[in-house]
Chain A
Amino acid sequence: MIEATTGIAGAFLASVAQHENRIALWARDESLTYAQLRARSASIACALSDSARVKPGDRVAILADRTTTAYVSVLAALLAGTAYVPLNPRYPAERNRVILVNSGAKALIVDDRNLSGLEVLLDSVESKPLIVTPESADVPLNSDAMRLSRKDLPRDVSDASLRIDRHGNDLAYVLFTSGSTGVPKGVPISHSNLAAYVANTTALAKVSCEDRIIQLADLTFDISVHDMFVSWLNGASLFSVPENATLMATRFVQELGITGWFSVPSTAGLLKQSGFLTPGTLPTLRFTLFCGEALTGMVAEAWAEAAPNAAVFNLYGPTEATVAFTSFRYQSGQADPPAIVPLGEPFHGQSVGLFEADGVPTVVGGTGEICLSGSQVAAQYWNAPELTAQRFFYADGRRWYRTGDLGRYDPKVGYLFAGRLDQQVKIRGYRVELQEIEGAVRKASGCDLVAVLPWPMTQDRGATGCVAFVAGVTGDAELVRRECQRYLPDYMVPSHIIYLPEMPLNANGKIDSLRLRAHPALSPQEH
């Protein structure tokens, strides 16, 4: 399906040739056929290439809401031979700025809705990227950056003008996730990584050009990678739901005849809790994929009842292994559903290993760190050799990535999740390093003695929020919280800042999280 020499962009163009009049994208009530999607993205790609500021192998950042422009921009970056780097309009400007600077993006594509935030975003960025505003011709920018606007975009761009001659190891995108050092870490994914993932999930869900796939995730969340490329490389149609309408997703499925769904289990849980997930609600769904956090049997069962014609798969895998790496097909109608649905078996051509801390494989049936090896695994972290050395290692003649998750193997169901090794938690499905939140609270409070706990916890060992403890000083909790909002996305901002006279320590002199967890503010009735 995907040629080694033309990568994902070449595969998209092949799909366009086969399906040019089919609907490729529907977003904010605007539809684009494959031919129209190609024309708009090729136009921006050509302008990028002709600008002399952007060359193949560079990164192109995107700041856009879920409009057609966002999706067009992703393809434009790839058709220009560059890797796309999504920013998020819902992130604080400071976080987007860190991602923009760390990625070294040579260009930034912005939709009109986010032009007003550009001045703050680019403030103090020394090497200004080329600004591309494909929707707007006349809106002035309060920035000295070079700019291409709608009037600079060429029409009728031929395939020959596009830079799709990519090597498999060239990057398709760089996603930034929460980092333990206090700054987001970049995960570069190559065309080969992405091609392997698309082939595997296409086979798993038997995706075809008849499928109508819903899109619920922000571009900064790699479920969006699945939605876009599994749709477009198969000639299927992608239907984007606006950021604030996720809870109305069942209405979109019903009215638009959606056949494919991929979300975090939290979304299904929230729909269930809100009364939108009743038996038979989603008859058109043919397949459902969940990933990103533990899937409880209760949610899986409720979903299977709501979508009686859908195959329900629990997927597992970190961003570093390209969206997802293992799968387990959930069989509905179980009298006693499992507390947590298994992770299952690795995709074709991928390997899972369980290792002890010293890199020795665990004994058969034992619990160990889940490590991943195969064509979907990223080569390294972006500009972070020390982190790469910590997380990637060689054993059994293969290169492995340490996930930090614990697991064990049951021959009947495959791999099972058994907790985390480090401070990483899932908050509302987002992977979060508590150290990053602690770093922000330190900066905001001016105090070093800070500890953050995920809270309230959910049944599946995730959390819906977090709380911060600051010791040895007093201060204005609300002020600290507001300051944190400058650095952290909403889901990472502590709901409470609690000042303590001193930080409780355990016998080893480490912060005693058990005693912190017993604080009266974290009692169930306070929730």
Chain B
Amino acid sequence: MTTDAQRCNVLARIQSIIREAVAAPDVIVHDGTTTRDVAGWDSLTHVTIILMIEKAFSIRLTSAEVTRLETVGSLVDIILDRGKI
């Protein structure tokens, strides 16, 4: 079972990765953030972010998981489900 602190921790690490990928150090993301909400998050950036997250958390997303990435929260869920915290 994951705690709120663990979720916040994963979210903070993901936010840091997204900031680096879109070159915007002030971007704030939350569970409901979608790719459309962040300027510069195009399809190329999307793949870059996925690859950076895979490296940071030592995981490999399945294609099924890639199709479920609707929001930042869904990404947090996948990482927590894998126990990579």
Contact = CB atoms under 8 A, between A and B. Distances in A.
A-B interaction: yes
Given A28-B68, A29-B67, A245 B62 contact: no
B13 to A, nearest CB: 21
B35 A245 contact: no
Contacts of B46: 244-245, 247
Interface string B41-67: 011101100100000000000111111
B64 A248 contact: no
A255 B63 contact: yes
B66 A248 contact: yes
B50 A248 contact: yes
B53 to A, nearest CB: 13
B68 A246 contact: no
Interface string B17-47: 0000000000000000001000000111011
Contacts of A269: none
B63 A252 contact: yes
B43 A29 contact: no
Q: What DSSP secondary structure best describes chain A's contact surface? A: helix
A27 interface: yes
A255 B47 CA distance: 17
Contacts of B43: 243-247
Contact of A255 (B50, B62, B69): B62
Nearest to B62: A255
A274 B50 CA distance: 14
Interface in A23-43: 27-29
A1 B65 CA distance: 37
Nearest to A89: B36
A275 B44 CA distance: 13
A251 interface: yes
A38 B10 CA distance: 41
A251 B67 CA distance: 12
A251 B44 contact: no
Given A247-B43, A247-B44, A248-B47, A29 B35 contact: no
Nearest to A28: B67
A27 B67 contact: yes
Contacts of A414: none
Contacts of A247: 43-44, 46-47
Interface string A232-261: 000000000111111110011001100000
A233 B47 CA distance: 33
A251 B63 CA distance: 7
A29 B62 CA distance: 11
Contacts of B64: 29, 255
B47 A245 contact: yes
A245 B48 CA distance: 10
Best-buried of B42, B44, B64, B67 by chain A (most CB within 10 Å): B67
A247 B47 CA distance: 7
Interface string A253-280: 0011000000000000000001000000
A248 B44 contact: no
Contacts of B68: 28-29
Interface of A: 27-29, 241-248, 251-252, 255-256, 274
5 nearest A-B residue pairs (beta carbon) = A247-B47, A244-B46, A244-B43, A252-B63, A29-B64
